[in-house]
Amino acid sequence: MAETENAITEKLSFETQIHEAWDGTEQRAALRSQPRRYVSYDWQAMELWHANYLHALVYSGQTDIMRFPLWHAGIQLRDKNYKDQGNIHIPVRALWPYRNIGGLLLFVDDESYSAKYDLKYLTGSGVAGLEKQLTRDWEAVSTRVVPLAYGVLQQEDSFNTYHSTYTEMTINFELTQSQKAVDFPVALDEYHDEKVPDESAFRFGLPETYLGSEVWRWEGQWNDAVSANFSRNANRIDYNTGVFRFDVKSWDPSETWEQTYLLLCREEIHNMQRFFIRQKGKWKSFWTPTWFHDIELVGLQPAGQSFLVVRFPLYYKYYQKSKRRKRLVVFYRNNTSEFLTIAGWSTNEDGTRGKVYLESPLTHSIRPADVYLISFFLRCRFDTDDLVIDYETTETATASIQFKEVDE
């Protein structure tokens, strides 16, 4: 079994072809209908035969299709299963990793026993039919059920040997299309998110979709700093004579940023993977708040007012020409939110405060003390075709997500 205190990584990988026009407008084509799947395990061989096995794998097994457990997807059996039984029950919250899977492993520990079984069928309620009957009793809790996948070792795999018997290795598997895979329940596919526990549920009540596109509703925990950069779409015309100028191709700069998310349960992990699969990596765009405090209100904003008075007076200078950043989302401290559409930017009479004009008047007053933050609401896409999940345990993981601001 893989060492759980070390890194276990799962990656989903799409392929997107992007054609960028002169003004930065994109046309994107998805080249894969389903992602390729990869898993990596840090393995420690404490016994000599374990080390010998790892050496042999790297030496001559890198192009062979083999079967291996998805250890990060294992879960305890809730009920005792008896000899000659023809099916077992897998908790529904553990079924998502069984996509394109045709078998499972019943496992107690490295020193006891385990058994592999091919699947006959899998239902949305978690009933897994087996090709052969159980050959022994399997106790609840002490037995783990683990998906069995087909795959190949990646060809660049290597290992570190610290003395004659101790070896460490990161095993990298690429999953292959299993010819024995059972049909995955439609009720649990990528279009059906799992219900998450209350402590992990989305705050602020953001909708699932907005203007026909999905909404990224995960709020980052700020475990790590957000790495962001901006690029201006302009050509620098410079003949190295001392004089240069810029040919601005678009008034819309593009921001890319990366944020780390802590996922606190299997359901959150699975739902983030579902979202990524629905977008097919870079292909589809979606809406997301910046989750920054982009607008700071000054004083009470009364109902019926068609603008917001804000502290920074120069928004008009930097945003007036851009067709992006025309929407705001207001997050309130009572865990609700609302959208506002920007009509234009200006300042007050003496230029000390900014004004954000709205397409529609406020339907209610807004007190700064009631506001958690006001963010720009952006159209963006993933900036990579890979989603990498780093598992801390079978129930918690982190994911670093890269975003890119786009027009559509």
H or E segment and range at residue 112: none
Residue 333 lies inside a defined structural domain of this protein: yes
Chain centroid offset of residue 226 CA = 16
Residues with Cβ within 8 Å of 5's Cβ and at least 6 positions away in sequence, in order, are none
Looking at the structure, tell me whether residues 169 and 223 fall in a common domain: no
Residue 7 lies inside a defined structural domain of this protein: no
**Percent of the chain whose predicted confidence (pLDDT) is above 70:** 97
pLDDT mean over 359-381: 96
CB distance 10 to 391 below 8 Å: yes
Looking at the structure, tell me whether residues 293 and 348 fall in a common domain: yes
CA 168, 169, 170 angle in degrees (round to 5)?
140
Q: Which of 8-17, 151-160, 217-226, 236-245 has the highest mean pLDDT?
A: 8-17
CB distance 325 to 344 below 8 Å: no
pLDDT mean over 45-72: 81
The number of residues in the chain equals 408
Tell which of 168, 189, 210 closes a domain: 189
Coil, helix or strand for 278?
helix
pLDDT mean over 9-35: 92
H or E segment and range at residue 117: strand 114-122
Residue 145 lies inside a defined structural domain of this protein: yes
Looking at the structure, tell me whether residues 175 and 261 fall in a common domain: no
Domain membership of residue 364 as a residue range: 199-405
- Largest Cα separation within the chain, whole Å, is 86
Q: What is the pLDDT of residue 156?
A: 65
Q: What is the pLDDT of residue 131?
A: 95
Looking at the structure, tell me whether residues 326 and 298 fall in a common domain: yes
CB distance 35 to 58 below 8 Å: no
Residue 124 lies inside a defined structural domain of this protein: yes
Looking at the structure, tell me whether residues 383 and 347 fall in a common domain: yes
Give the lowest-confidence range in 155-164, 192-201, 264-273: 155-164
Rounded Cα gap, residues 90 and 146, in angstroms: 10
Q: What is the pLDDT of residue 162?
A: 72
Residue 378 lies inside a defined structural domain of this protein: yes
Give the lowest-confidence range in 130-134, 153-157, 210-214: 153-157
Stated pTM of the model: 0.91
Q: What is the pLDDT of residue 206?
A: 93
Residue 1 lies inside a defined structural domain of this protein: no
Task: Please say if the pLDDT value at position 392 is more than 80.
Answer: yes
Coil, helix or strand for 277?
helix
Looking at the structure, tell me whether residues 218 and 179 fall in a common domain: no
Looking at the structure, tell me whether residues 93 and 139 fall in a common domain: yes
The residue ranking higher by pLDDT, 124 or 110, is 124
The residue ranking higher by pLDDT, 44 or 328, is 328
Mean pLDDT of the chain: 89
Residue 369 lies inside a defined structural domain of this protein: yes
CB distance 9 to 40 below 8 Å: yes
Total domain count for the chain? 2
Local confidence band at 381 (pLDDT 50, 70, 90 cut-offs): very high
Q: What are phi and psi of 333, to 5 degrees?
A: -70, -15
CB distance 358 to 225 below 8 Å: no
The residue ranking higher by pLDDT, 1 or 394, is 394
Q: What is the pLDDT of residue 2?
A: 47
Other CB atoms within 10 A of residue 156 CB:
8
Looking at the structure, tell me whether residues 173 and 234 fall in a common domain: no
Looking at the structure, tell me whether residues 208 and 179 fall in a common domain: no
Task: Please say if the pLDDT value at position 7 is more than 50.
Answer: yes
Tell which of 128, 160, 189 closes a domain: 189
Task: Please say if the pLDDT value at position 74 is more than 70.
Answer: yes
Rounded Cα gap, residues 378 and 373, in angstroms: 15
Tell which of 126, 156, 189 closes a domain: 189
Rounded Cα gap, residues 402 and 396, in angstroms: 20
Looking at the structure, tell me whether residues 86 and 140 fall in a common domain: yes
Rounded Cα gap, residues 272 and 256, in angstroms: 20
Local confidence band at 102 (pLDDT 50, 70, 90 cut-offs): very high
Task: Please say if the pLDDT value at position 288 is more than 90.
Answer: yes
Give the lowest-confidence range in 171-180, 266-275, 299-308: 171-180
Task: Please say if the pLDDT value at position 1 is more than 50.
Answer: no
Give the Å distances, CA to CA, from 251 to 20, 24, 247, 321, 404.
16, 10, 11, 6, 16
For residue 280, the one-letter residue type is: K
The residue ranking higher by pLDDT, 157 or 95, is 95
pLDDT mean over 343-366: 94
CB distance 51 to 69 below 8 Å: no
Spell out a b/e string for 108-136, using b for 16 or more CB atoms within 10 Å of the CB, else e.
Answer: eeeeeeeeebebeebbeebebebeeebee
Local confidence band at 241 (pLDDT 50, 70, 90 cut-offs): confident
Report residue 403 as tokens.
């975003």
Residue 19 lies inside a defined structural domain of this protein: no
Looking at the structure, tell me whether residues 337 and 221 fall in a common domain: yes
Rounded Cα gap, residues 191 and 314, in angstroms: 43
Looking at the structure, tell me whether residues 180 and 284 fall in a common domain: no
